[in-house]
Chains A and B, each alone.
Chain A
Amino acid sequence: MKNKFKLFLIDNAVVVVFVLLIAIAIPLAGMPGKYLLQEVLTRLGRNAFLVLALLLPIMAGMGLNFGMVLGAMAGQIGLIFVSSWSIRGIPGLVLAVILATPIAVLLGYVCGSVLNKAKGREMVTGYILAFFMNGIYQLLVLYAMGSLIPIGNPELLLSRGYGIRNVVDLIGVRQSLDKVLQLTVAGIKLPIATYLVIAAMCAFIVWFKRTKLGQDMRAVGQERAVSLASGIPVERTRIIAIIISTVLAAVGQIIFLQNLGTLNTYNSHEQTGMFSIAALLIGGASVRKASIPNVIVGVVLFHLMFIVSPMAGKNLIGSAQLGEFFRQFISYGVIALSLVLFAWKRQANEDASRASLRGGASKGGAA
């Protein structure tokens, strides 16, 4: 019994550490419980879809899809046009999704192809690709829009005449999805429509895993050589996984931004990748395995920490800045810890099997 408990702790080390941290931080911050509850429920609606986008690439064995940032960019481009044309409300959101999807598919295809060329290094490559695409995005949004690409609404442009402003007010679509079915329960606002969309997405993922394509993806994720032998088009399946993930990220970013109501043209997408991945890992997922409960638990825990850290830091040391740094430290640290745990375990397994093959202790195993 004690061994099982120990094993549970190690397997879920990240979640456990995190829950402990939060348990300490919440009373330190001294924020009212109702406020925390409202914030968590709002953020759940805002972020869950984005984190769901990460599930398929993990299933396909491609690790954490840092390339989801590309999807976020596509979503933002859609919203920029919708804002420029003053299309409001749900129609505006639908139009943004329709505009963003082809862009996301294209970007997803590029991402998938590049990742296929870097087998074994997918995560770093995706990470760098996101930065690279950020440069292309800026070329497009900071220079081409308004000059080469006509933008109807001059209010969106910088004072120099071209390039989109740093902050775009999305008043037209602000809260459009959230308000469609908003219930207020005991003074807490719940965006039911948004939750329904997220639930639909979860259902889709569950259904997808049972389709042939889904099974192919899972096979590719677990054992590439075997699936190749079984006739599964490995490369193509991996690319499809990335494309779906990118499109979901685009939609997720649109949901995210409609809740916030403001678009930070050059920053919003950068944080999306990091926060979503950190949330997923905090929820107990690993580089090879992630499920829907990980998503929900992760978003709740991550954002709880996000809200309470500054105040906790201020009350503990007297500096809110410290809390801010602490929050970032935790975000990065969680990803680092998860990656390390995963790789450590994997290598320990490899070394053990190699040792048993050799019939003795191995000396400094090579990869």
Chain B
Amino acid sequence: MSGVKAFVADFGLPRIIIAVFLLALFVIAPFVGVSLTSSFINVTARFGMNGIMVLAMVPMIQSGCGLNFGLPLGVIAGLLGATLGIEFGLTGIAGFGVATLITLTLGAIFGFGYGKLLNRVKGDEMMIATYVGFSSVMLMSMAWIVLPYKSPTMIWGFAGEGLRTTISVEGFWDKILSNFLAVRIGPEFVFPTGMVLVFAICVALVWFFLHLKTGTAMTAVGSNPVYARASGIDVNRMRLVSVVLSTMLGGFGILVYQQSFGFIQLYEGPFSMAFPAVAAILIGGASVNKANMVNVFVGTFLFQGILTMTPSVINSVIKADFSEVIRVIISNGMILYALTRKTKVAR
């Protein structure tokens, strides 16, 4: 029995509650007329869509920079890549490829500056990350209005200034990854093989990187900075690398998201990208300074599962839409839980 107790203490009661909750939702679903197939389709799609952004959390957690509330910076890199790709009129895999290249480059540049900043403010990273992220989104919002984009699909119609709030990628690279090697299971279910494959490849790459010399150094910095420095590791450089990696992954993550979602969301869109990713990685079992690949998979699945299942199931049971409120309580509650736990770090 003590084994179970230890497991509960280690895994965390809130996570267990969430997992059980999700299971219950799946079980109840068919009884209240919610199609399990369509639920599964949705969850799978969202799993692939959001996974890479959750993955983006890992490097910075491992290097001790905390939860990356500044993910909007990476998202902005992705938005710039996507819009520029469309501006150049490129479609298909070429378009997506160019967008990716631009995103990764910008992501690296943004991440570099951001990382330099974070190195000067150790200990307050999370709060600063949040507000630097917000300020950047607002700065970009001004930019979207002013930048000289010309593509007719993107700018406001009649008398508007600048880019539209939501830009459709249909005709460009909509579902380019999702449809790649897509497998049709049954009449409704099209499994987005390409997207999930890309997600898996990214996870594998990050895992591989973390086991290389640089990666292990990064982890050492996060879990025991004094020891790391004593071993001759350049702490600042490792943190910088983690921030750059995180930002680039965030940028690519939003590209993958957009190709599945079908739309680019500018202006205040990036605001809502950081918190779900943070909540997801924490739900998956990560702490403020330790995260692994299992956390990414489990967390994304659980979180997106709850997001998908709660509205449909609960609406069928009680004629009330609790889903938004439940989402807020669960994601923020999870983050709270992580922030108030004693960290197992030798300081």
Binding site for B on A (CB under 8 A): 114, 117-118, 120-121, 123-125, 127-129, 131-132, 134-136, 138-139, 142-143, 317-319, 321-322, 325-326, 328-329, 332-333, 335-336, 339-340, 342-344, 346-348, 363-367
- Top-5 shortest CB links A-B: A343-B121, A329-B138, A366-B225, A135-B328, A336-B131
CB distance from A39 to the nearest CB of B (A): 23
A-B contact pairs, 9 of them (CB 8 A): A123-B124, A128-B339, A132-B329, A132-B333, A340-B121, A344-B121, A348-B120, A364-B235, A366-B122
Cβ contact within 8 Å between A127 and B225:
no
Mask, B253-290, CB within 8 Å of A = 1, is: 00000000000000000000001000000000000000
Cβ contact within 8 Å between A117 and B328:
no
Cβ contact within 8 Å between A143 and B336:
no
Q: If A114-B340, A325-B141 touch, does A317 touch B325 (CB 8 Å cutoff)? A: no
Cβ contact within 8 Å between B122 and A322:
no
B119, B229, B329 interface centre (most CB from chain A within 10 Å): B329
Q: If A332-B131, A332-B135, A340-B117 touch, does A367 touch B142 (CB 8 Å cutoff)? A: no
Q: If A322-B146, A343-B121 touch, does A364 touch B229 (CB 8 Å cutoff)? A: yes
Q: If A132-B332, A134-B328, A364-B237 touch, does A319 touch B126 (CB 8 Å cutoff)? A: no
Contacts of B142 in A (CB 8 A): 322, 325-326, 329
CB distance from A294 to the nearest CB of B (A): 19
Q: If A128-B339, A333-B135, A347-B123 touch, does A363 touch B128 (CB 8 Å cutoff)? A: no
- Kindly state the separation between the CA atoms of A38 and B260 in the bound complex, as whole angstroms: 51
Cβ contact within 8 Å between B322 and A367:
no
Known: A135-B332, A363-B234. 8 other contacts (CB 8 A): A135-B333, A139-B325, A142-B325, A319-B145, A326-B138, A344-B120, A347-B122, A363-B229
With beta carbons under 8 angstroms apart, the residue of A121, A142, A336, A340 that contacts B126 is A121
CB distance from B235 to the nearest CB of A (A): 4
With beta carbons under 8 angstroms apart, the residue of A123, A321, A329, A363 that contacts B139 is A329
Check: B226 CB closer than 8 A to any chain A CB. yes
Mask, B319-341, CB within 8 Å of A = 1, is: 01010111011001101100110
- Kindly state the separation between the CA atoms of A11 and B235 in the bound complex, as whole angstroms: 29
CB distance from A121 to the nearest CB of B (A): 6
Binding site for A on B (CB under 8 A): 64, 69, 117, 119-124, 126-128, 130-132, 134-135, 138-139, 141-142, 145-146, 161-162, 221, 225-226, 228-229, 234-237, 275, 320, 322, 324-326, 328-329, 332-333, 335-336, 339-340
Contacts of B120 in A (CB 8 A): 340, 343-344, 347-348
A123, A134, A339 interface centre (most CB from chain B within 10 Å): A339
CB distance from A132 to the nearest CB of B (A): 4
With beta carbons under 8 angstroms apart, the residue of A317, A339, A365 that contacts B131 is A339
Contacts of A123 in B (CB 8 A): 124, 127
- Kindly state the separation between the CA atoms of A114 and B119 in the bound complex, as whole angstroms: 27
Contacts of B328 in A (CB 8 A): 131-132, 134-135, 138
CB distance from B57 to the nearest CB of A (A): 15
Cβ contact within 8 Å between B141 and A343:
no
Cβ contact within 8 Å between B135 and A340:
no
Contacts of B162 in A (CB 8 A): 319
- Kindly state the separation between the CA atoms of A114 and B225 in the bound complex, as whole angstroms: 27
- Kindly state the separation between the CA atoms of A317 and B146 in the bound complex, as whole angstroms: 9
Cβ contact within 8 Å between B146 and A127:
no
Q: If A135-B328, A326-B142, A343-B123 touch, does A143 touch B234 (CB 8 Å cutoff)? A: no
CB distance from B101 to the nearest CB of A (A): 29
- Kindly state the separation between the CA atoms of A28 and B275 in the bound complex, as whole angstroms: 37
CB distance from A363 to the nearest CB of B (A): 7
Q: If A124-B126, A318-B161 touch, does A332 touch B121 (CB 8 Å cutoff)? A: no
A114, A117, A366 interface centre (most CB from chain B within 10 Å): A366
Residue of A with least CB distance to B125: A343
CB distance from A305 to the nearest CB of B (A): 14
With beta carbons under 8 angstroms apart, the residue of B64, B234, B340 that contacts A118 is B340
Contacts of A134 in B (CB 8 A): 328
- Kindly state the separation between the CA atoms of A317 and B144 in the bound complex, as whole angstroms: 13
Q: If A114-B340, A364-B235, A367-B225 touch, does A124 touch B320 (CB 8 Å cutoff)? A: no
Contacts of B320 in A (CB 8 A): 143
